[in-house]
Chains A and B, each alone.
Chain A
Amino acid sequence: MITRKRSAAGVCVLLAALTAGLVAFPAGAAADEPTGRDAPKVNLLLDVSGSMRARDIDGQSRMAAAKQAFNEVLDATPKEVELGIRTLGANYAGDDRKEGCKDTAQLYPVGPLDRTEAKAAVATLTPTGWTPIGPSLLKAADDLEGGNGSKRIVLISDGEDTCAPLDPCEVAREIAAKGIGLTIDTLGLVPNAKLSRQLSCIAEATGGTYASVEHQDELTDRVNELVDRAAEPVVTPVATEGADACAKAPTLKSGLYTDREEFGQQRWYRVDVLAGQELRASVSVGADRAMNPNHGVLLRAVTVHGREIVRGEAAGNGRTDVLSTGLRYPKPEREDDDGKPAAETVCLAVTHSFSAGAGVKTTPGLPLELTVDVVDGPDGASDVASFGLGRGWWLLGTLVLAGFLAGLLWGWLSRWRFAVWRTN
């Protein structure tokens, strides 16, 4: 066990060092630029409820394991990551449910990390109160507001939410729908089935991940990995809002966009394509809640007059995170060069046939990701084969036979001509 632990820690340090090395340099270089990307922000949300006293993680209490993991994570955090810590259930030990459900506090504000201060703050924690997951998620999301860097909440809990009726899943979905590009990853400490379901539901709602943790090294590794992930540079999508008809739709250029699409809704976008250019569009509709098993997505490219040019469709069955499809539309070069406008407006319509499971809220809409690329058009094919070239033994046989016959013919012709010349 000890060797395994050590090797895991080694891998972890290596990972962190590599990531730090990879990421720190470009971020450092960009820091002086006013147009540079903002720092990635991570908010660690730790459950400090009474149940954290249970001594079932490698023989120590859950709280002690969490503290040790936090210390290691704080040491390994890449320096460009702005890290904060929030607690839930740390202060109110009483029996009043209303009070208990308001008990969330910022232990260390999100910002440049001072390791000693953060560690000192973590050391003061003692397991105390309730488990108000929903309200704390809302507060944690507020902590991260501002900036366009990636944002992540890492929720570590050992018990399900005790503050119904506010469903933490719905809270997570609403946070995601605010369009601030936030991901919630969840970790369950020695979870039961109910906690697993709740935490994975929260993660699913924001495109995050869920892990169950039973050993201290797993906890450290996982949190470290999540913090490192936040530091990875990724393309941030631009929020847009599609319309219900092409005429009112926003015009998009090449780029990555997000939107929300409600059940039974159509979303329209417009793209301008010049003659000789190719439009490439792909769309992913995320399943961020419990869905009925059969689903589909349809992306259509339609002219402004309503004629369908090409469509992409996808259908699926069972568990999925997204359903995606795409299309290509190469607009041919124009033969004549009269005064017509060179650009054609192509309308893109997105529909999906997801249906929410029984008792699942249908608002906000499903997350939609749209990639638009307008590139030069392809060279058309005049023949199936490459440049009309052939290959294979049949080709060789045919050519040899044809050559032989041509030779024979030519030989007979010249003999005949010779004979005619001789007789005259």
Chain B
Amino acid sequence: MRITRVLGAALLALGLAAAPAAADSSPSPGASGDDGAPTRAGTSFRTATEIEQGQTATARASAGDYLYWSFPADAEQRPTVRAKVKLPETHAAQTWQIDVYDGLRRRQACQYGAQTRTAGADTASVELTCVLRTVRAWSEPWADDPLPGTYYVRLTAVRLPTADLGQPVEAELRVESKDVGGAAAVDGALAEPLVPGIAMRTEAEEKDAEEGSDFPVLAGLEPEDGWSSGWWSDRWVWTAVGGALAALAGVGGYRLTRGSGRPSRVPPGA
């Protein structure tokens, strides 16, 4: 256990030293509350409200709306999306669902968590969870593994009696990640994270500079400490420590064959 802790500390120190300069994340569009968390949700992929991991986004909406948020997730993170919907005082049974899509708008599977839940007529709220797979730095183009980039969350009622259409509801969304670390480190890296419209971004930035205005982008948020450069993982520490231990063991093995001091068969004074 101690070794793990020591390794962890070493990893942290190295990680801090090696972390790329943090880029300022651009502000999220949409109204925000006191703590900067958005208080509104988008209504399509294009208008999805951007949130950061660890923020609790809220939105007032009506039953039947499709609510969209987007958040950035980097390699070696395993994001968990939690949503809570407060239902009106009187309602019939409703089924709510969260779906998570990656930057290419491909639906991402939830490993576990209640992605769909039916709220009975007497329940005041419904809570949904989706634990995504670990984000990998690289995958084959034919696979739909989660890759670093933007993720979209869609929250909606999938089964709704007509009488409940349009009734006011309150939604709350929070995304947190577990850092899986080097266990999920893979070879290879994307040149650009899977952020929609990233190829148009440079163009938009040029225009920004020209006109001094803020051109809208599809997704602008980055993880807190920027997109990881892709080469660092705690595998370096494990391998280096392994190499050092192997060297020590080698010296130990060598010493063993020599015995202690001079060989016994050599007469004194030889």
- List the interface of chain A (C-beta within 8 A of B): 11, 14-15, 18-19, 22, 26-27, 29-30, 33, 35-36, 188, 191, 193, 196-197, 199-200, 207-212, 218, 221, 225, 228-229, 232-235, 237, 254-256, 278, 280-284, 310, 312, 314, 318-322, 324-330, 369, 371-392, 395-396, 398-412, 414-415
- CB distance B258 to A411 under 8 Å? yes
Q: Tell me if B186 and A235 are in contact (CB < 8 A).
A: no
How far apart are the CA atoms of A186 and B81 in the complex, in Å? 30
Binary CB contact string for chain B from 92 to 114 against chain A (1 if under 8 A, 0 otherwise)? 00000000011111110000000
Residues B54-89 near A (CB distance < 8 A)? 60-62, 64-66
Min Cβ gap A211→B in Å is 4
Known: A282-B106, A399-B245, A407-B252. A391 touches B45 (CB 8 A): no
Q: Do B238 and A391 touch (CB < 8 A)?
A: yes
Please state if B141 and A369 are interface contacts (CB–CB under 8 Å): no
Task: Report Cα–Cα, A191/B162, bound state, in Å.
Answer: 11
* Cβ–Cβ contact B211 & A373, under 8 A: no
Min CB gap B250→A, angstroms:
4
A contact face: mostly helix, strand, loop, or mixed: mixed
Query: Are A319 and B199 in contact, with the CB atoms below 8 A?
Result: no
User: Can you offer 29 A-B residue contacts whose CB atoms are under 8 A?
Assistant: A22-B29, A30-B211, A210-B65, A211-B166, A212-B168, A233-B29, A233-B215, A234-B216, A254-B197, A314-B107, A322-B44, A374-B199, A381-B187, A382-B188, A385-B187, A386-B182, A389-B185, A396-B245, A399-B242, A403-B247, A404-B250, A404-B253, A405-B253, A407-B254, A408-B253, A410-B250, A411-B254, A411-B258, A415-B258
A310 touches B166 (CB 8 A): no
Question: Are A284 and B45 interface neighbours, CB within 8 A?
Answer: yes
The answer to whether A403 and B249 have CB atoms under 8 Å apart is: yes
CB <8 Å contact, A221 and B235: no
- Chain B residues whose C-beta falls within 8 Å of the C-beta of A209 in the assembled complex: 43, 61-62, 65
Contact assessment for B213 and A30 in the assembled complex, using a CB-CB cutoff below 8 Å: yes
Asked if A406 contacts B213 (CB within 8 A), the reply is no
With A196-B163, A321-B44 as given contacts, are A399 and B185 in contact (CB-CB < 8 Å)?
A: no
Residues B254 and A376 in contact, CB atoms below 8 Å apart: no
Q: A319-B160, A403-B253 are in contact. Are A282 and B105 (CB under 8 A)?
A: yes
A159 CB to closest chain B CB (Å) equals 15
Least Cβ–Cβ distance between A372 and chain B, in angstroms: 8
Rounded to whole angstroms, the CA-CA distance of A36 and B213 in the bound complex is 9
A378-B189, A395-B238, A399-B249 known; 5 new pairs, CB 8 Å cut-off, are A280-B103, A325-B105, A325-B106, A375-B192, A376-B191
Closest Cβ neighbor of B230 among chain A residues? A379
**Nearest chain A CB to B59's CB is how many angstroms away?**
10
- Give A400 to B242 CA distance when docked, in angstroms: 7
Most buried by B among A377, A391, A399: A391
Query: Which of B107, B234, B235, B242 counts the most chain A CB atoms within 10 A?
Result: B242
CB–CB B167/A384 < 8 A: no
Expressed in whole angstroms, the minimum distance between the Cβ of A380 and any Cβ of chain B is: 6
Q: Could you say which residues of chain B place their CB within 8 Å of the CB of A389?
A: 185, 233, 235-236, 238-239
With contact pairs A221-B60, A399-B245 given, residues A33 and B213 touching in the complex (Cβ less than 8 Å): yes
Partner among B45, B190, B243 whose Cβ is within 8 Å of the Cβ of A324: B45
> In the complex where A19-B31, A396-B245 touch, is A322 in contact with B189 (Cβ < 8 A)?
no
In whole angstroms, how far apart are the Cα atoms of A371 and B104 in the complex?
Answer: 9
Contacting residue for A386 out of B40, B187, B247, CB 8 A: B187
> How far is A27 from B144 in the complex, measured between Cα atoms in Å?
39
Residues of A within 8 A of B66 (CB): 321
Q: Which residues of B contact A33 (CB under 8 A)?
A: 211, 213
Q: How far is the CA of A330 from the CA of B101 in the complex (A)?
A: 21
Which residue of chain B is the closest to A377 with respect to CB atoms?
Answer: B191
Please give the distance in Å from A287's CB to the nearest CB on chain B: 11
* Complex alpha-carbon distance, A401 and B253, angstroms: 10
Residues of chain B within 8 A (CB-CB) of A22 are 27, 29, 31
A385 with B235, Cβ < 8 A, contacts A193-B162, A235-B218, A327-B104 known: yes
B166 touches A407 (CB 8 A): no
Q: Which of B119-137 contact A (CB under 8 A)?
A: 137
Closest to B59 in A: A225
Contact: B235 with A196, CB < 8 Å?
Answer: no
A330 touches B185 (CB 8 A): no
Q: When the two chains form the complex, which single residue of A18, A208, A312, A414 contacts B31, counting CB atoms closer than 8 Å?
A: A18
What chain B residues lie within 8 Å of A284 (beta carbons)? 45, 105
A255 to chain B: closest CB distance in Å? 6
Any A CB within 8 A of the CB of B115: no
Residue-by-residue, is B200-236 near A (CB-CB < 8 Å gives 1, otherwise 0)? Answer: 1000000000011111111000000000001101111
The residue on A at minimum CB distance from B101 is A324
Is B178 at the interface (CB under 8 A from chain A)? no
A395 in contact with B242 given A193-B162, A210-B166, A408-B257 (CB within 8 Å): yes
Bound-complex Cα distance A209 to B32 (A): 21
Complex: chain B residue closest to A185, CB-CB: B43
B165 to chain A, nearest CB (A): 4
Does B6 make an interface contact (CB < 8 A)?
A: no
- Residue B21 CB within 8 A of the other chain: no
